[in-house]
Amino acid sequence: MSQKNLDPKNDLLKEIEFYLVTDSGLSNKGTLSDVKEAVEAGCKIVQYREKDKSTKEMICEASEIKRICGDRAIFLVNDRIDVALAVDADGVHIGQDDMPIETARKLLGTDKIIGLSVYNIDEAIEAEKSGADYIGLGPIFDTATKKDAGDGIGPGKIREVKKAIKIPVVAIGGINKENCESVIQNGADSLVAISAVVCSDDVKRETKIFIDIIRGIKKE
């Protein structure tokens, strides 16, 4: 069993800094290229999010992403627990309308990571009680990446949520280089910036910029 799957998962997740979520529809160079460049830049967690491919295609691509991540990055699959099980991913990220955490945990086992998307404090508290290893809080700012995301809740909400729970908080939604400092300053353990990275012609460079910004603020 690799070190990244061992408890305490909470401590591992607090070290992730920049969190890559793939998006084949937005990607300028392709999902596998994005993952490779991000991991080379020092990205410590990758979530494979794919809505348009067949299960067979997803399993093949997920297998390759797992190989790229190796021991350098935690590898999670969005929504598709069957795909995560098929490739022995490090865990999954699920939404409020997906499979209940308790059921996902029974299927995946205790050593896998489960993240849950939340929109407010009540959902964050419930996520922790249900056994989530971390939450994805957002959208922090208005975003066009996910059409059903809702209005941005603002970076100030991160601080409120951090005070209410102990598990790590990953901020997502409309985050870019211009506003990411406020996200970390308000207590996010890490952040997701999808279009700001995968739409770039140099994912490695953009990922490194975010990592440097996050590290700089955390050292203050």
* 159 flagged as catalytic: no
Catalytic residue at 117? yes
End-to-end CA distance of the chain: 35
Residue holding tokens 């596998």? 32
Residue 31 has φ and ψ, to the nearest 5°, of: -60, -50
Determine the Cα–Cα distance for residues 131 and 140; give it in Å rounded to an integer: 23
Catalytic residue among 146, 157, 204, 208: 146
Please pick, among 49, 112, 162, 204, the residue that the annotation labels catalytic.
Answer: 49
Eight-class DSSP state of 31: H
Q: Is the peptide bond before 139 cis (omega within 30 degrees of 0)?
A: yes
Q: Of 27, 117, 182, 200, which one is the catalytic site residue?
A: 117
The yes-or-no answer on residue 166 being catalytic is: no
Rounded to the nearest 5°, which phi and psi values hold at 59? -65, -40
- Which residues are catalytically annotated? 49, 117, 146
